[in-house]
Structure 1
Amino acid sequence: MKRQFVQEMGRSPRFTILELLRCSEGGLPVDDLATKLSMSYMGVKAHCLEMDDEGYLETWRQPGKRGRPRMLYRLTEKAYDLFSEEKNDLALSFLTVSKKLFGATAPQKILMLHYRAVSAKYNEQIKGATTEERAASFARIRHREGYLSDFEEGPPWRIIENHYLYRDLLMAYPEVDAFECQMISEVLGVPVRREVTMVAGLYRAIISSKL
């Protein structure tokens, strides 16, 4: 995350609101945010209005089965940028130069070698005798790394990641998604599917077993 933003906001309610919205499915209403934060409705509303004015949040209306639609807050692309990693520019530049120097397939070969190393690293860290235990351990490691990961017990178990450290890399090289999926399959010892959605500043990857 960008250092200046973290330094200015620290662990303030504003920062926590962004984290909660980041981990939500499509956004949250003010009353839900107030409950999660143990704050007053008006206190949370004031923070949301402030961040709306600053361009970090936007509102949309969620249709309901009865009554009026609910107004939800969700992150904007500007807010998503706060979670971006600064090292993406260097990685993208390196891959671009490798393509010019060594040919069109050079970036893919480098990515393949990178993910082999990542797989080996996770295999050293992950604990658990069963696939589900290894998946839970993997989710905890990824959460510490900044992927905002949650593990849902099964059957079927799921890993939900609400942030991706290399989003710019994924946009430039879509094959990164396949490398990620293959790496996770190798680490967990079972074939997995990885369903990714990126909408209005929201990133979400749902990882589950194909078996």
Structure 2
Amino acid sequence: MRRSKTDPDCVLRKSPLCESDLKKLMGQPTNTFLRERHLVTAESLWERHLVTAESLWERHWVTAESLRERHLVSAESLWERHLVSAESLWERHWVTAESLRERHWVTAESLWERHLVTAESLWERHLVSAESLWERHLVTAESLWERQCRVPVGEALGYCRVPVGEALGYCRVPVGEALGDCRVPVEEALGECRVPVGDT
């Protein structure tokens, strides 16, 4: 039986045959068989609840960007599944430094070492103490003085100490942008990706 290409059940791109007709003719091919031959799109499989977002990812049918753009998974979900690294989330502008720190994915010290924040930014956000900045050679005594961080009288600038605050590794940061609300650039559209041969 042949049906119109406009039939809502029809998923073939260049044939009037529908998926049900094709399966009858070809002995019930699998979803992967259909996808590999470009007879259905990954998006079509998803919309029909034939595959999960995880399955799409594991088979390299979609990119992390594509999943995130279509709200199929959250950035937090990608992290929890070990599909992306904290650095990757940052570089793609999916999260803010505050968001990474709030979720204990990175330390303030790690943010500094990766050049994601400046010493001034750490100080202004109350992420570190003046002493912590000093001990790590992130500021000079002159800079501390200019910022009105007082030092003991009679002690040479080069050897001064400042009030004890909180160590870098234990500081807390304010919440910035929530992971679930961020947006990512689109790389590969679901319908345009290619898939490896296999079974769903």
TM-score under structure 1 length normalisation:
0.22
Larger Rg: 2
Considering Cα pairs closer than 8 Å and 6+ residues apart, tell me whether 1 or 2 has the greater RCO: 2
> Higher strand proportion, which one?
1
**Structure with more helix by fraction:** 1
